[in-house]
Amino acid sequence: MATPAKSVNDSSFFDRFAEKTSKYAGSTGVFVGAFTVVLLWAATGPVFHYSETWQLVINTGTTIITFLMVFLIQRAQNKDSLAIHLKLNELIAATKGASNRLINAQDFSEKEIRLIHDFYCLLAEKAKEDNDLGETHSVEEAEDNHHEKLAAHRA
């Protein structure tokens, strides 16, 4: 018997836990609660004579929470980043005249990204020269312009 395909909405326990926790952690109520804990801790300073144990309580608590939240936040950021890449890829794929070479640009090497960045800088320069905000240019035009400049410099 064939195994049913996993639904897009199916997610693991950890996926659901991480999503709910990160939404909850970013809420106003959690911020107010954390701020209140810090105020209460500060207010108890005189009672505990600002002892090392009193300081250790807040240091340990905040360190543990920060350590765990870093991973949770990174996970949420990775998911958001992937979703944005997918949306941009869809726009590139659906837009006539857009360069499909830029689909999955996040997978390019830093050298490749810098090269493409240079081409877009050339496009910006061409647009400035034209003094026409409605004029558009392609990456290919920028590349041709770049090659012409290189040839002129070599001559």
Residue-level pLDDT, tens digit, the chain, 155 residues: 555 555 556 678 988 888 899 899 999 999 999 999 999 999 999 999 999 999 999 999 999 999 999 999 999 899 999 999 999 999 988 888 787 888 888 899 999 999 989 988 888 887 777 766 555 556 666 667 667 767 877 87
Phi and psi, residue 16, nearest 5°: -65, -45
Let me know if residue 54 belongs to a domain: yes
Identify the pLDDT of residue 14: 86
Q: Is 64 in the same domain as 124?
A: no
pLDDT of residue 10: 67
Residues 25, 84 share a domain:
yes
Look at residue 127 and tell me if it is in a domain.
Answer: yes
Q: Are 106 and 85 in contact (CB under 8 A)?
A: yes
Report the candidate in 151, 142, 101, 102 with the shortest Cα–Cα distance to residue 119: 142
Do both 86 and 23 map to the same domain?
A: yes
Question: What is the total count of domains within the chain?
Answer: 2
Q: Residue 5: inside a domain, yes or no?
A: no
Whole-number Å distance between alpha carbons of 119 and 142: 6
Residue 138 lies in a domain: yes
Distance (Å, rounded) from C-alpha 71 to C-alpha 18?
A: 10
Asked if 140 and 120 touch (Cβ cutoff 8 Å), the reply is: no
